[in-house]
Chains A and B, each alone.
Chain A
Amino acid sequence: MMINRLFTALTLSLMLSACDVEPWVKPYERAHLADPIMMFDRDPVSSTYLGHVHDAREGARGAGLATGGGCGCN
C-alpha cells in the first residue's frame, strides 16, 4: 500500500513538473527520428499478422508494439 502511494505521488510530481520541460530535442533536430526507417510499426497490416502468429503459438500475450505511437516528428 505504501509503495502504491509513493508511486502515485512520484508519478504525479513527475507529470506536473514535466509541464515546464523544454524539449531537449528541438523540432529542427528531429530529421533522423522522422525518417520512416525509425518507425516502430512501419506497416500495421504486416506487424498485426506477425503478432497473431506469435499469440496463436505462445502462452504469452499483450504489450506488443503500439500502433499509432508517434515520435514527435510532426
Chain B
Amino acid sequence: MPVKVLVVQAWPQVVVVVVTKVLNRPVCFLVVCLGLLSLPGFNAIAAVLPEDRADVLYHSYDGGGVTVDGPSVLVRKKVGESVSVSGNYYVDSVSSASIDVALVSGASRYAEERTQTSVGIDYLYDKSTMSFSTTTSSENDYDADTTSLGMSQEMFGGLTTISMSYTLGDNTVRRNGDPLFSDYAKTKNYRLSLTQVLTKDLIMAMAYEIITDEGYLNNPYRSVRYLDGTSFTLQPEIYPRTRTSNAVAVNFRYYLPYRAAFNVGYRYFVDTWDIQADTFEVGYTHPYDEHWTFDADLRLYNQSNADFYSDLFPYINAQNYLARDKELSTFTSYSIGLGAAYEFNQEDLGVFDKGSLNFYYNYFIFDYADFRDATQTSYPVGQEPLYNFSASVIRLYLSLWF
C-alpha cells in the first residue's frame, strides 16, 4: 500500500511527519508517533507513570445457557523513577449449553477453560511515556499471542493527553475432534485517543480505532441452516477471510457541584462486513462519607447485521459467504449496572497506602430482530419466535495501593 510522507519544517527543530494510509505499515505508524511527539506542544508537561497497585478480581457471567467465571489478578509496580512493570493473570472457566450448542449437538453442555497471562512495561523517557505489553492466551482449540506498543503524552499545559498504540494479534484456530484442522487469524489494531480538559469541571475523551483481521475468522463449530423441504438442514459457516472495522467514540465526564460525577458517551462502529453499530452510555458516580463510592450506569447498544448473515438460507450454498452467528445479526442490547466500593481506613491496612473492596452488578437484555430460536421445533421453519435472553455479570474485587 503506498505511503505518503510530508515533511514540514515550519518551526525551529520541529519536524512534523504526516503519513497517510498506514494500514499494514506498523513502522510508518511509529514514525507518525515519533513525529507528533517531536512537536513543542507535545513536550509541555512531563508524563507520569501509573500508580503501584494490586487488584484481585472474581468475575462471573451467567446468561443464555452460558456461565463464565474465574479470577483476574493485576499487579503494577514502579522500578526506579522511570519504569513501571505490570502483570496480569486471567482465567475464563466456561460451561456452555447456549442456543448455538443446542442446535448443533443437542442439549449436551461443554466445558472449557481459557488462561491468559500478560506482562507490560511503561517507560518514562524525557517527557513521554512509552509502553509495551505482550499477552498469551490459550485454550484447547485456540491460542492467541498479542503484542502492543503505545505512546502517550501530555501537552498544552497538561490540558491534553494524546495516546497512540499499535497491537498485533497472532492467533491459531483448531477444532476439537479434528486433528487435521488448523488455521490462523491475524489482527492489527491502530488506535489514536485524546483526553481533553474542557473546563475545570468537564473532561472529554475521544478515541478512533481501526482493526484489521485476516485469516480464519469464523467459529469452526457453528453452522448455518437452510430450508430443506418443510424442515431445515445444517451446513458449516463460511466467512470472508478479511475484515476491517472503524470505531470512533467520545465520552464526557462532568463534576457536579455536590461532589459527584456524571458521564455520557457514544460510539459509532462500521466494518467491511456491513455491520453498523451505535453504543450509548450514561453513568453517575456518588461518593458517600469518606468510605463509600456508588456507581450506576445505563448502556444501550444496537447493530445491523452482516451482509452475509441470514437466520435461514433458502438452499444449500445459497451464497459465497454464510453466517448465522447471532453476534452478526440485527439486535439491541440494554444493560443497567450498579456498584459500590468501600475504601478502608489507612490504619487498618498495615503496609498499604490505600485499599478498597468493590462490588459491581450488571444486568443485560439481548433482543434479536432476525435470529430465531430454531430449537423450538413446534413452529414451522422460519417462523420460530425471535430469540432473546438476559445475563447477569458480577465483578467483586479487592484493590490495594502500595
Chain A residues close to B by CB (< 8 Å): 4, 8, 12, 15-16, 18-19, 21-25, 27, 29-30, 32-33, 35, 37-38, 40, 43-46, 48-50, 53-54, 57-66, 68-74
A44 to B253, CA, bound (A): 17
Min Cβ gap B36→A in Å is: 8
Min Cβ gap A16→B in Å is: 6
**Interchain CB contact under 8 A, A38 and B395:** no
A19 to B20, CA, bound (A): 23
Interface residues in B270-288 (C-beta closer than 8 Å to A): 271, 273, 275, 277, 279, 285, 287
Chain B residues close to A by CB (< 8 Å): 6, 8, 10-11, 16, 18, 20, 36, 39-41, 45, 47-48, 50, 55, 57, 59, 61, 72, 74, 88, 122, 129, 131, 152, 154, 156-161, 163, 189, 191, 193, 195, 197, 199-201, 203, 205, 207-211, 245-249, 251, 253, 255, 259-261, 263, 265, 267, 269, 271, 273, 275, 277, 279, 285, 287, 293, 301, 303, 306, 327-328, 333, 358, 360, 362, 366, 393, 395, 397, 399
Contact residues in A for B247 (Cβ distance below 8 Å): 60-63
Within 8 Å by CB of B207, from A24, A37, A66, lies A66
Residue in chain B with minimal CB distance to A71: B203
Within 8 Å by CB of A49, from B72, B195, B249, lies B72
Min Cβ gap A8→B in Å is: 6
A53 to B393, CA, bound (A): 9
Q: Is the interface of B mostly helix, strand, loop or mixed?
A: strand
Known: A25-B159, A58-B277. A43 touches B399 (CB 8 A): yes
Contact residues in A for B199 (Cβ distance below 8 Å): 25
Known: A25-B200, A40-B195, A63-B207. A33 touches B275 (CB 8 A): no
**Interchain CB contact under 8 A, A72 and B395:** no
Known: A59-B303, A70-B195, A71-B195. A21 touches B39 (CB 8 A): no
Within 8 Å by CB of B61, from A33, A53, A63, A72, lies A53
Known: A32-B255, A44-B74. A25 touches B197 (CB 8 A): yes
Residue in chain B with minimal CB distance to A28: B200
Min Cβ gap B111→A in Å is: 17
Contact residues in A for B205 (Cβ distance below 8 Å): 40, 65-66, 69
Contact residues in A for B39 (Cβ distance below 8 Å): 15-16, 19
Min Cβ gap A64→B in Å is: 7
Additional A-B contact list (9), CB under 8 Å, known A16-B10, A37-B285:
A27-B158, A40-B205, A44-B74, A45-B55, A45-B57, A46-B397, A59-B327, A64-B249, A71-B197
Residue in chain B with minimal CB distance to A30: B200
Known: A12-B18, A72-B159. A37 touches B259 (CB 8 A): yes
Contact residues in B for A21 (Cβ distance below 8 Å): 41, 156-157
**Interchain CB contact under 8 A, A23 and B251:** no
A16 to B36, CA, bound (A): 11
Within 8 Å by CB of B251, from A30, A40, A62, lies A40
Contact residues in B for A12 (Cβ distance below 8 Å): 8, 10, 16, 18
